Each structure stands twice: as C-alpha cells, then as structure tokens.
Amino acid sequence: RIGSATSLSSAVINTRLQELVRLFKERTEKVKEKLIDPDVTSDDESPVASAAAAPVPAPGGELEGDKPLGDDHYCEMLCCTFKYQPWLDRLKSYQFPSSIDPLTNLMYVLWLFFVVVAWNWNCWLIPVRWAFPYQTPANIPYWLLVDYLCDLIYLLDILVFQTRLQFVQGGDIITDKKAMKENYLRSQRFKMDVLCLLPLDFFYFKVGVNPLLRFPRCLKYMAFFEFNNRLEAILTKAYIYRVIRTTAYLLYSLHVNSCLYYWASAYEGLGSTTWVYDGEGNSYIRCYYWAVKTLITIGGLPDPKTLFEIVFQLLNYFTGVFAFSVMIGQMRDVVGAATAGQTYYRSCMDSTIKYMNFYKIPKSVQNRVKTWYEYTWHSQGMLDESELLVQLPDKMRLDIAIDVNYNIVSKVALFQGCDRQMIFDMLKRLRSVVYLPNDYVCKKGEIGREMYIIQAGQVQVLGGPDGKSVLVTLKAGSVFGEISLLAAGGGNRRTANVVAHGFANLFILEKKDLNEILVHYPESQKLLRKKAKKVLKSNNKPRDEKGGPGEPLVIPAKADTPKLFKAALAATGRMGGKGPLGRLRWRLKELKAMQE
C-alpha cells in the first residue's frame, strides 16, 4: 500500500511538473511575440472579482452602490441614461491655464476674435460719430456702454492673456509665469497696448463727449494682424478669408472717405454749393456713394467751386488712385496664391501636350496621358505628393506617413510580427502612383523590383490559357508582388499579369529601399525570408500531385535513345570501341556523367 501511494504521488507530481513546463513555454512564446510586435494584445484572462468582495444588498433589495447620490445629475438620451455635470459646476471647476500656446491654442484664437471685434467697433464707429450727427444727447449712454465694454476687453487682454503667452528663448519653450510677464512688458506690443488705453475720456468733463478722444483705441492693430495669422493657419481654405479681408480694406477706405466728405460738406455748409452734400436723404448712404465715385474715379461728379473744395477733391483723387491700385495688386496676389497649384498643373499639362505633339505621339496615348493628369489632380490635389513633404523634417514626414499609410501597411500579413520601427522606416519610402483603367501594373515573367499596396480602387489578376481570365480581384488594402520583392535567385519573376480595374491608386515599395531598411533590422529580415520561403514552397508544388495537369516545362525533357541505336552502341563496345560509333558511345557516357 505504501509503494502504491508513493507511485501515485510521484505520478501526480510529474503531471503537475509537465503542466507547469507547458504553461512556462506558452508564457515564453507570448512574451517573445510581445517583444517582436508590441501591437499584439495579451490573451491573459481578465481577473475575476472575488465573491467576498461582492456588494451586500440593502434591505430594500437594491445595491447601495446603485443608488444615485443626491448631488449627481442624469439626462436621458435615446434608451440610455448618462450622468452629467451641471454647467455651473463645470464653470466652477474650470481652471484657467497658467500658460497659453499662441500657435495652437484655439481658445486664444477665439479670444483674439473678441479683441478684433472691439477694435473694429472703434475703427468704424469713431469716424461716423465724429462726422455724422448720429451721436445725440439722448443716445450717448448707449454709445458709452459699448465703448467701455470694448475697453474692458482691451484691459483683460493685457492683464490675463498677454502675460500668459508662451515664447521661445534659446530653442526652449518658456512657460514660467514671471518670465512670460517680463517678456510681454519688454515687447513693443505692451507699449502699444498701454498707449491705446490712454484715459483721454476724462476730457469729456471739459469738452463734452467727443469721439476723437477715443482715437488711440485704434492703435491696437497688432491684435488684428495676429488674429489674421492664427486664423489662416487653421482654415482649410485660407484664400477665401484673404479675399474677404482685402474687400474689407477697400470698404473701410470708402467708409473713411465718406465721413471726410460729410465733414467737408458741413464745414462749407450743407447745400451751399453744388459740390457739397445737399442734406437730403440718408446722409451716410449719399456720402458713401460719392466716395465710391471719387476713389474709383468713375467720374460724373460736380466740379468743386471753392479753393477748399478743389484741394479736397485733388487729395481725394490722388488717394483714390493709390488706394485702388494697392487693392487691385493685393487682390491679384491673393487670387494668384489661391490658384498657384492649378496654374502649375496647367503648365505641366501644356508642356507635356506640346512634347507629345512635337514627337507625333499617337492620339490614343495622348488621351491616356491627359486622363492621367486629370484624375491625379482631382483625386490628390497635386501631381507629386513627395514635392509637398520634401521641405519638412524627417520626424514630421514620418508622423504624416503614419497617419496616412500605417493602417494599411500594418494589416499586411507579410509584415506582421516585424519590428515596428522597421515598418515606420518603410512608410517613408512608399511612393504613390495612379494607374488608369486596363493599365498593366505588372506582367508575367518580368523581373519584380517593387511591391504594391492598394490604397484606392481595384486590380485584377489575370491567368488561364489565353492570359485574359480573371483569377481574382484585389481591393483596397490588398498587397501583391511581395514575394518577388523578397525572393532571391530566379524567384523574383512575376507569376501573373495584374491589370488595373478602373482607376487605381497604389503605394509602391521598391526592392532597393526595402534592402536598405532590412540591413538595420536583422531579426525582421530573417522573419521575412522565412515567410517568403514558405510562400514560395506552397506556390511551387506541382499540380499533378493533386490530380491536376502538370505545369508545362519551359525546356522539354530529352526523348529516350532508340533501342536499335542502343544495340549498335553495345556491339561497338564489345568490339573494342573503335570507329565513329565508339567515339559517340564514349561521348554519351561523358554527358551522362555530367548530368548525374
């Protein structure tokens, strides 16, 4: 009994040890896979909560943890109930940032918008209130209310925002509060901000509410230009905003001129001469109409009568010619910058057509070239993507390549398990190419030097006796040509014809680029070679093993020697091997030995 118990315990121990060895092996394999490919998710089971830790139901049958607290708030949406925080609590818990990045912070751009609105109020309304009789004792409180609201925005910009702006010093981004404040106090921006808030409003008690005393508020122009730069950086079509801004410049110049014309008319006396405003109708609209005709030099205006009117009109004409020419030139630059890509595309296409006509290229080929230009431009917005990224640093090019191509390349079975950094290096070498319908991407038998990844569109693999039967259709995300890219010796020839089915946008990775990358990743190189050999073995199995017809040989086997000729050679050997047959017999033996 003791011996049987001992043998039973030893068997249990051996079984347990074997189980532990098996678990350790599985764990080791998982760790190796995790080291090779960090993207591999762990298969470990989630920890199960202990039964002792389960919450105890309340006497009412409801778990204590399920009871909503008194301060919690819930909202119902569709079939679910979501917990939310009231806006007042969110406002109380919000913490203003200690430092603001002026280049990327959208909150700062929004604040600049309010500052620019306040600046525009002063720039547009101060001349109107000074020249036209729109400011009366009855509405002065409303004008002053908006004026001091704009002054409050100016003051908050100085005290809260400008003293928190980050800046670069010696290549470092400075976020220290004291350093940011000192940098702002030393800047030209601070001097102009203080100047624009000069408290000239105290003179109201002596001279009355004169809008010209608020003219320094227009000196906050730096905020306007900063807002333009920040807004253009985040807009996808910034040229539209540039056109609107240039148009606003023209309208503002006409606005100021209309105010000056009404002031000149009031100085001369309304309706005193045929040149001045006669005081009828809407004063601002009539004066604005006169300003448009003067600055744009349309003509048809009454002749000035007095010396003051002549000098005023001359200055108007000179200013109008200068301002209008500047506006036209700026508008031309804005439109030219907006259509620079289209102009480049047209010049390239015109040069190509001129070249093809000079060498009398067939019309069918010319039409395909034109189609390629049209589709490439409309699908990508450019002819060559590499030209757009060549000026960027290597790290930024990698970030863009990861966002654009990583999801496609990471799903390629051939590269799964490879070093992640190797895939990143490979992304920077990918080149985008557009193929037209029925274009041959690669042909059977040609030397393979590229691998193809389908970004958009479809390609068809052709085969069969006539080479025109569709074997398979590959869609976006599929890969082909990878075996020719990795095969050594004579295995790098294409095994099928591949034709674009419709327009196809492909990524191309060349063999020399991959070899340059694999030099730095030997483990990934071994893994890729192993996968390539495995695929080549499966592709090179003869079909007659499965009962199908064998692959026709490029060089057919040599036919057997006729029996009569074999008998003559044997008789010659028995006779001593002399004569022509003897020499032939000796030559055949030599060839047989070489074959073996």
Give per-residue pLDDT as tens, 491-532.
577 878 899 988 888 888 888 888 888 888 888 888 888 877
CA–CA distance, 549 with 139 (Å, rounded to integer): 100
State whether 115 and 206 are in the same domain. Answer: yes
Predicted local confidence at residue 224, as pLDDT: 95
Name the pLDDT band for 256 (thresholds 50, 70, 90).
very high
Q: Is the pLDDT of residue 485 over 80?
A: no
Averaged pLDDT for residues 282-295? 90
Q: Is the confidence at residue 317, as pLDDT, over 60?
A: yes
189 shares a domain with 306: no
Residue 124 lies in a domain: yes
Residue 129 has pLDDT above 90, yes or no: yes
Q: Dihedral (C-alpha) 356, 359, 360, 363: value to the nearest 10 degrees?
A: -30
Residue 283 pLDDT exceeds 80? yes
Distance, CA of 223 to CA of 241 (rounded, Å): 17
For the chain, the farthest-separated pair of C-alpha atoms sits apart, in whole angstroms, at 147
Q: How confident is the model at residue 131 (pLDDT cuts 50, 70, 90)?
A: very high
Same domain, 200 and 116: yes
* pLDDT surpassing 90 at residue 143: yes
Contact predicate 496/462, CB 8 Å? yes
Residue 204 CB contacts under 8 Å (≥ 6 apart), including other chains: 210, 213
- Report yes or no on 403 lying in a domain: yes
Q: Indicate the residue among 349, 383, 417 that finishes a domain.
A: 383
pLDDT band for 195, please (50, 70, 90 cuts): very high
Query: Is residue 447 within 8 Å of 461, Cβ to Cβ?
Result: no
Return mean pLDDT, the chain.
Answer: 79
Distance CA(334)–CA(175), nearest Å, equals 36
- Quick one: pLDDT at residue 198? 92
Q: Which of 347, 362, 383 is the last residue before a domain boundary? A: 383
Task: Indicate the range of 35-49, 82-96, 295-309, 470-484 predicted with least confidence.
Answer: 35-49
In terms of domains, do 400 and 314 share one?
A: no
Distance between CA atoms of 134 and 143, rounded to whole angstroms?
A: 10
In a domain, 568, yes or no: no
- Say if residue 229 is in the same domain as residue 243: no
Higher-confidence residue: 217 or 27?
A: 217
Least confident window among 344-348, 396-400, 553-557: 553-557
On whether residue 297 sits in a domain, the answer given is: yes
277 and 200 share one domain: no
Asked if residue 397 lies in contact with residue 338, where contact means CB atoms within 8 angstroms, the answer is: no
pLDDT of residue 407: 77
Q: For residue 527, what are the domain limits?
A: 392-540
- Please give the average per-residue pLDDT across 108-125, as a whole number: 95
Asked if the structure places residue 62 within a domain, the reply is: no
Does 205 share its domain with 269? no
227 and 296 fall within a common domain: no
Same-domain pairing of 376 and 242 = yes
Over its C-alpha atoms, the chain yields an Rg (Å, rounded) of 42
- State what percent of residues in the chain have pLDDT above 70: 75
- Of 516, 540, 564, the residue at which a domain comes to its end is 540
pLDDT for the residue 579: 62
Amino acid 410 reads S
Does position 56 have pLDDT exceeding 50, yes or no? Answer: no
Are 267 and 361 within one domain? yes
The residue length of the chain stands at 596
Residues forming a β-bridge with 508: 431, 452
In a domain, 74, yes or no: no
User: Residue 398 and residue 426: Cα distance in Å, rounded?
Assistant: 10
416 inside domain: yes
Domain CATH for 447: 2.60.120.10
Instruction: Give the contacts of 128 (CB within 8 A, at least 6 positions apart).
Output: 134, 255, 259, 284
Q: State yes or no: pLDDT of 84 exceeds 60.
A: no
Please check whether residues 225 and 241 belong to one and the same domain.
no
Same domain, 379 and 408: no
Q: Which residues contact 316 (CB under 8 A, 6 or more apart)?
A: 257, 294, 295
454 by DSSP, 3-state: which?
A: strand
Q: Which of 75-79, 201-205, 255-259 has the lowest mean pLDDT?
A: 75-79
Q: What is the number of structural domains in the chain?
A: 3
72-81, 146-155, 485-494, 524-533 — which is least confidently predicted? 72-81
Q: Quote the pLDDT of residue 594.
A: 60
CATH number, domain containing residue 349: 1.10.287
Residue 212 predicted with pLDDT over 60:
yes
Asked whether residue 147 is domain-assigned, the answer is yes
Residue 44 has pLDDT above 60, yes or no: no
Band of the pLDDT at 123, cuts 50, 70, 90? very high
Cα dihedral across residues 413, 417, 422, 427: positive or negative: positive
